[in-house]
Each structure stands twice: as structure tokens, then as C-alpha cells.
Amino acid sequence: MIKVTVLYPNTPDARFDMKYYVTHHMPMVRDKCAGACHSIAAESGLAGGDPGSKAPYIAIGHLTFDSVEAFQKAFGPHAAEIMADIPNYTNTQPTIQISEISL
Amino acid sequence: MIKVTVLYPNTPDARFDMKYYVTHHMPMVRDKCAGACHSIAAESGLAGGDPGSKAPYIAIGHLTFDSVEAFQKAFGPHAAEIMADIPNYTNTQPTIQISEISL
């Protein structure tokens, strides 16, 4: 099983509409990848590890798939439409991490 | 519910022993925080979002707690011992993110 993690940097002028993200964007991605995307999850940054420090990421999203190939096959045809929705909830440029779930 | 995410950067000379991490380090943290830590999870970086790009993080770990206060109360007394185990599985300096689980 693999996880696609989308990390939105907590820049000084970062804007992120978590309500839109969890009620519209992430369910839309899951629906577009129906049959391939097993789960969606999202988190709001609260803090960093050092006392008083800011969270490195204002928000993080996670999607799970059977394999990288399954993700690419399901996501690819909808990529342009999904990316076009990003400005509706944030002005940040996300970093993408594809991982194998180890535990 | 909050999630503590530990992100290990995928630097050119990064070393990470995932077997040690999932069989020793993460279970040890869970056991030290018994009663407060609800779950542990870990991922191995495979790739970034652009074709052929490296994963930004060589590994990511996750722990969930009821609240930031519950995490600090459970983790604090064992922090030195837990941190001292890090060189046993990696030569990287992790970034910490504390988040509220939103979805």
C-alpha cells in the first residue's frame, strides 16, 4: 500500500481554507479516483517541535492507493481538474511525497 | 485528536534503517507513552510529485494523542531517552509537525 502525502508550506502569507479542503477538495479527489483511492485524511498544522515554533506545514493531506501505478492510472486523467481546484483553498504551492506504508 | 509527524529529510547522504524504526524505535515510543499514544505509523519515501524526482523525506513517522497537552505530558519524561535512540537508525535531523486531525 502506498500513501500520497500533500504538504502545504506554512509560509508567512499562507492562506488555507480547511473547511473547503475537507468538504470539497479531498472528497472530489477520492470520487475522481473511485475504486483506486482507499482513504483520504487531512491535518491542520498547530506547532513545530520546538517550544513556540510554527508548524512547518499549514496543512497536510493523505491519500492511499494499492501502488504507485494504481495512483498514476487513477489520478492522471483528472490531474488538470484537481490541480485547478487548488487556488480555491490555498495560495501555497504544495510539496508531494509518495511513500510506501511500512507500519 | 492530534498527530505528531516526524519528517526525516532525504538528504544526499541520508541513512535510515526502516526495520529498526518499525520494530524497535516506534514501538518503544508507543510503550513509553502507553495510555496516551493511540497509534503509531511509518512510511518509507519512494518518490516526489514530479516524474523522476526524489522523495522529499526518506521516512515519515506518525503518532496520535488526544491533545497537545497529553502528548507533552506523556513524551516529556522520556524525551531524552527517545532522542538518544535516533542515531541508531538515522544520520538525519528530523523536522517535527504537530497537527490537529481534521479529516
User: What's the confidence (pLDDT) of residue A50?
Assistant: 87
**d(CA B70, nearest CA chain A) in Å:** 14
Give the pTM: 0.96
- Tell me how far apart the alpha carbons of residues A68 and A4 are, in angstroms, rounded to a whole number: 9
Contacts of B2 in chain A (CB under 8 A): 46
Contact B102 A18 (CB under 8 A): yes
Q: B59 to chain A: nearest residue by CA?
A: A99
- Is residue A90 within 8 A of residue A15, CB to CB? The reply is yes
Tell me which residue of B91, B5, B71 sits closest to B41, measured CA to CA: B5
Q: A56 to chain B: nearest residue by CA?
A: B97
- Tell me how far apart the alpha carbons of residues B101 and B2 are, in angstroms, rounded to a whole number: 5
- Three-state DSSP at B37 gives coil
Taking only the tens place, the pLDDT of each residue in A1-49 is: 999 999 999 999 999 999 999 999 999 999 999 999 999 999 999 999 9
**d(CA B29, nearest CA chain A) in Å:** 14
- Tell me how far apart the alpha carbons of residues B66 and B72 are, in angstroms, rounded to a whole number: 11
- Tell me how far apart the alpha carbons of residues B15 and A68 are, in angstroms, rounded to a whole number: 23
User: What's the confidence (pLDDT) of residue A22?
Assistant: 98
- Is residue B5 within 8 A of residue A55, CB to CB? The reply is no
- Exposed/middle/buried for residue A50 (C-beta within 10 Å: 0-12, 13-18, 19+): exposed
**pLDDT values of chain B reduced to their tens digit, one per residue, 103 residues:** 999 999 999 999 999 999 999 999 999 999 999 999 999 999 999 999 988 999 999 999 999 999 999 999 999 999 999 999 999 999 999 999 999 999 9
* Bridge partners for B8 per DSSP: B59
- Three-state DSSP at A34 gives coil
User: What's the confidence (pLDDT) of residue B50?
Assistant: 87
Contact B45 A97 (CB under 8 A): yes
Characterise B52 by phi-psi region: left (phi > 0), alpha (psi -120 to 50), beta (else).
left
User: What's the confidence (pLDDT) of residue B44?
Assistant: 98
Contacts of A3 in chain B (CB under 8 A): 43
**d(CA B19, nearest CA chain A) in Å:** 9
Interface ipTM: 0.95
Q: Which of A26, A48, A98 sits opposite B103 (nearest CB)?
A: A26
Residue ranges of E strands in chain A = 2-9, 39-48, 57-65, 95-101
**d(CA B49, nearest CA chain A) in Å:** 5
Inter-chain CB pairs, A–B, below 8 Å: 105
Taking only the tens place, the pLDDT of each residue in A49-100 is: 988 999 999 999 999 999 999 999 999 999 999 999 999 999 999 999 999 9
Q: Which of B97, B101, B103 sits opposite A55 (nearest CB)?
A: B97
Contact A43 B3 (CB under 8 A): yes
* Bridge partners for B2 per DSSP: B65, B100
Backbone angles phi, psi at B36, to 5 degrees: -115, -40
Contact A49 B99 (CB under 8 A): no
